[in-house]
Amino acid sequence: MPRTPPARRGPRPRQTTTALSALLLAALAGCTDRPAPPRADGTAPSATGGSARAPRPFTLVASGDVLPHNTVIEQARRDAGGNGYDFRPMLAGVRPVVSRADLALCHMETVYGERGDYSGYPTFKSPPEIAPALAATGYDSCSTASNHSLDDGTEGVRRTLDALDRAGVKHAGSARTEAEAGRPARLTAGGADIAHLAYTYGTNGIPLPLDRPWTVELIDEQKIVDDARAARRAGADVVVVSLHWGTEWQTAPDEQQLTLGRALTASDTAGRPDIDLILGTHAHVPQAYEKVNGTWIVYGMGDQIAGAMINHAGFYDPRGNQGSIGRFTFSPPAKPSGRWEVTRAEFVPQGMDTVAGRVVNLPEALRTDPGREDYRTALADISAAVLGRGARHDGLTMGR
């Protein structure tokens, strides 16, 4: 994990997560005369399990690693006026993009500490105040499977998920109980039921607890497919998979990303793809978007929040503070049991201004301040990485 140098001078109602087993039991109980409860988005289920209100297109946004180094923690302390930690100002620049989406997903890279016991690289323990800041920004669910998920053992996992629960942010990829590990985050948008699953390549050599091997979800092709199919059987119209994968500081997706991406997007049941979107994190630099077997893969969204990043050669590398927000518009299927199709795909270049201590929507910032050559350079670099595998030909455009 890249480290950071010392601080630099001045830079919806939410839905209840439901276990797959409970959903399946509920489906079996559907023959009773008890009326089904309304969906969390206000639509009433029909007798066939659909919505009485016609489905509509919905937008989903997703962003990269939230990685609070010591300098980031200190910035949040200053933003709180010395009384606790406030990460909301740091994220305010991307709040319009996130909050206007129907559904927003983040990646919470680190676990949370408590009572001031916080740390950055190499063993992260972040202030739990990040969770309400993510909620205030508009995030609905976060992937929590990463190579840092076990930095503070199972207690770190518990504190993190407890804090996200209190903030009303769902989570996928790590778990406090075996039952929790067996279910995705469940959300609704546009009348669609969405399942969010998450997995990581590893945990920095820290072994999974022998008595709790389910604490963090590890990447395993067959398990991912099995979980996606189980979510679909339990009623998911759209299945989104977050993967913590790839090679740090490498812009091009590595062989595992390419091979696994092809396999997962090729997996289908009765001609319908098992997975509808793949979102990648971990490389700390922006990576390409690509449509593979008809399904969008974001190999790496880069970092959303991070201190000034030091690469493996020991030098500050601005790519480590660059990222993209993916925005995908899903439209209802043309026929029953059909696929919700991505009918519009966009990326919004964003960066972490480590001097100001703020996340920046680069296209919007350049519109109001066209003289920022550093922002212009970052936007060009991000665009080159994102479009590096021909996504423009499949309709990917830049948004703001």
pLDDT at residue 17 in the model:
39
Residue 44 belongs to a domain: no
Q: Compute CA distances 82 → 74, 163, 352, 354, whole Å.
A: 9, 21, 22, 19
Cα–Cα distance between 389 and 3 in angstroms, integer?
29
Number of folded domains that form the chain: 1
pLDDT at residue 52 in the model:
56
DSSP code for 99: H
Cα–Cα distance between 294 and 374 in angstroms, integer?
36
Residue 199 belongs to a domain: yes
Residue 14 belongs to a domain: no
Cα–Cα distance between 307 and 4 in angstroms, integer?
6
pLDDT at residue 343 in the model:
98
Cα–Cα distance between 67 and 109 in angstroms, integer?
6
pLDDT at residue 53 in the model:
74
Q: What CATH number should be reported for the domain holding residue 266?
A: 3.60.21.10
Residues 6+ apart with CB under 8 A from 271: none
pLDDT at residue 337 in the model:
83
Q: Compute CA distances 223 → 199, 310, 315, 383, whole Å.
A: 10, 34, 38, 33
pLDDT at residue 359 in the model:
98
Q: Are 168 and 129 in contact (CB under 8 A)?
A: no
Burial 181-214 (b: 16+ CB within 10 A, else e): bebbbbbbbbbbbbbbbbbbbbbeeeebeeebeb
Q: Are 157 and 213 in contact (CB under 8 A)?
A: no
Beta bridge partners of 186: 195
Residue 90 belongs to a domain: yes
Distance of CA 250 to the CA centre of its chain: 20
Residue 277's domain comprises 53-398
Q: Compute CA distances 387 → 263, 287, 390, whole Å.
A: 22, 9, 6
Residue that is written with structure tokens 């006026």 in the block: 81
Cα–Cα distance between 63 and 348 in angstroms, integer?
10
Residue 47 belongs to a domain: no
The model's pTM: 0.88
Residue 16 belongs to a domain: no
Residue 24 belongs to a domain: no
Residue 28 belongs to a domain: no
Would you give per-residue pLDDT tens digits along the chain (400 residues)?
A: 444 443 333 334 334 333 333 333 333 233 333 333 333 333 434 333 444 578 999 999 999 999 999 999 999 999 999 899 999 999 999 999 999 999 999 999 999 999 999 999 999 999 999 999 999 999 999 999 999 999 999 999 999 999 999 999 999 999 999 999 989 999 999 999 999 999 999 999 999 999 999 999 999 999 999 999 999 999 999 999 999 999 999 999 999 999 999 999 999 999 999 999 999 999 999 999 999 999 999 999 999 999 999 999 999 999 999 999 999 999 999 888 899 999 999 999 999 999 999 999 999 999 999 999 999 999 999 999 999 999 999 999 999 9
Q: Alpha helix locations (H) across 182-325?
A: 221-233, 255-266
